[in-house]
């Protein structure tokens, strides 16, 4: 059972505009032989086409990145997570969940109906986890 976080998807118009901005800035940087801006062009490309997903499942908490169908996962197992904090105020009616591992915290936005399922999943997977609602 995967529970997906709430992330805004980039629109097609934004991707097209970012692609044009990359092409124009890359051509201008190469034409003027100002190679520092080639790096800036690739940062525009990265910012435009990098997609991410927040996934909570029985294994743990995952941030999945994809860039032109090249996927990478950054998984925290439930055994590594120390704390889970719920923040009901900032994104009402959605809920921000803060997952803590040592001194590092990951914050994910979820629908309010999914929070109880995630908390039950965390308690089942790691009974020693500290959960603050």
User: pLDDT (tens digit, 9 = 90+) per residue, 13-48?
Assistant: 999 999 999 999 999 999 999 989 999 999 999 999
The model carries a pTM of 0.76
- Count how many domains the chain has: 1
Residue from 61, 64, 60, 67 nearest 43 by CA: 67
Instruction: Write the pLDDT tens digit of every residue in 100-129.
Output: 988 999 998 888 888 888 998 999 998 888
Range of the structural domain that residue 82 is part of: 3-132
Instruction: Write the pLDDT tens digit of every residue in 76-97.
Output: 999 999 999 988 876 678 888 8
Q: Which residue is it, tokens 């995630």? A: 118
CATH of the domain at 32: 2.30.29
């Amino acid at each position: 059972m995967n529970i997906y976080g709430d992330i805004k998807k980039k629109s097609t118009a934004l991707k097209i505009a970012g692609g044009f901005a990359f092409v124009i800035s890359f051509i201008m940087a190469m034409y003027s032989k100002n190679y520092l801006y080639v790096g800036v062009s690739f940062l525009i490309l990265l910012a435009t086409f990098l997609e991410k997903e927040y996934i909570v499942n029985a294994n743990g908490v995952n941030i999945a990145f994809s860039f032109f169908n090249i996927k990478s996962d950054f998984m925290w197992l439930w055994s590594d997570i120390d704390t889970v904090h719920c923040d009901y105020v900032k994104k009402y009616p959605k809920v921000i969940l803060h997952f803590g591992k040592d001194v590092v915290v990951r914050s994910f936005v979820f629908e309010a109906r999914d929070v109880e399922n995630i908390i039950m999943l965390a308690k089942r997977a790691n009974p020693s986890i500290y959960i603050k609602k």
